[in-house]
Amino acid sequence: MANASGFISSSVPSLRRRNLHSFGFSRSGVCSFERITKRVFRCSAVEGAEKYASGVSPSESRVPRIVNKGCKLVGCGSAVPNLLISNDDLSKIVETSDEWISVRTGIRNRRVLSGRFFLTMHASAINPSFRILGKDRLTGLAVEAAQKALQMSQVDPDDVDLVLLCTSTPEDLFGSAPQIQRALGCKRNPLAYDITAACSGFVLGLVSAACHIRGGGFQNVLVIGADALSRYVDWTDRGTCILFGDAAGAVLVQACDGEEDGLFGFDLHSDGDGQRHLNASIKDDETEHALGSNGSVVNFPPRHSSYSCIQMNGKEVFRFAARSVPQSIESALEKAGLTPANIDWLLLHQANQRIIDAVATRLEVPTERVISNLANYGNTSAASIPLALDEAVRSGKVQSGHTIATAGFGAGLTWGSAIVRWG
Catalytic-role residue among 220, 349, 352, 376: 349
User: What pLDDT is stored for residue 286 in this prediction?
Assistant: 57
Listed in sequence order, the residues at least 6 apart from 99 whose beta carbon sits closer than 8 Å to its beta carbon are none
Domain coordinates of the chain in residue numbers? Answer: 69-119+128-272+315-422
User: Is 349 annotated in the active site?
Assistant: yes
Compute the Cα dihedral for 88, 90, 93, 99 and give only its sign.
negative
Task: Tell me how far apart the alpha carbons of residues 224 and 196 are, in angstroms, rounded to a whole number.
Answer: 12
Catalytic-role residue among 71, 76, 166, 199: 199
- The 8-class DSSP code of residue 2 comes to B
Task: Tell me how far apart the alpha carbons of residues 216 and 284 are, in angstroms, rounded to a whole number.
Answer: 41
Number of H helices, E strands in the chain: 10, 22
User: Is 379 annotated in the active site?
Assistant: yes
- The 8-class DSSP code of residue 172 comes to S
User: How does pLDDT run along the chain (423 residues), one tens digit per residue?
Assistant: 433 333 233 333 334 334 444 444 343 334 444 433 333 333 433 444 444 344 444 334 333 444 578 999 999 999 999 999 999 999 999 999 999 999 999 999 999 998 764 444 444 343 444 333 445 899 999 999 999 999 999 999 999 999 999 999 999 999 999 999 999 999 999 999 999 999 999 999 999 999 999 999 999 999 999 999 999 999 999 999 999 999 999 999 999 999 999 999 999 999 999 999 999 998 876 555 544 555 567 778 887 888 999 999 989 999 999 999 999 999 999 999 999 999 999 999 999 999 999 999 999 999 999 999 999 999 999 999 999 999 999 999 999 999 999 999 999 999 999 999 999
Superfamily of 69-119+128-272+315-422 according to CATH: Thiolase/Chalcone synthase (3.40.47.10)
User: What pLDDT is stored for residue 407 in this prediction?
Assistant: 98
User: What pLDDT is stored for residue 114 in this prediction?
Assistant: 87
Task: Tell me how far apart the alpha carbons of residues 109 and 125 are, in angstroms, rounded to a whole number.
Answer: 38
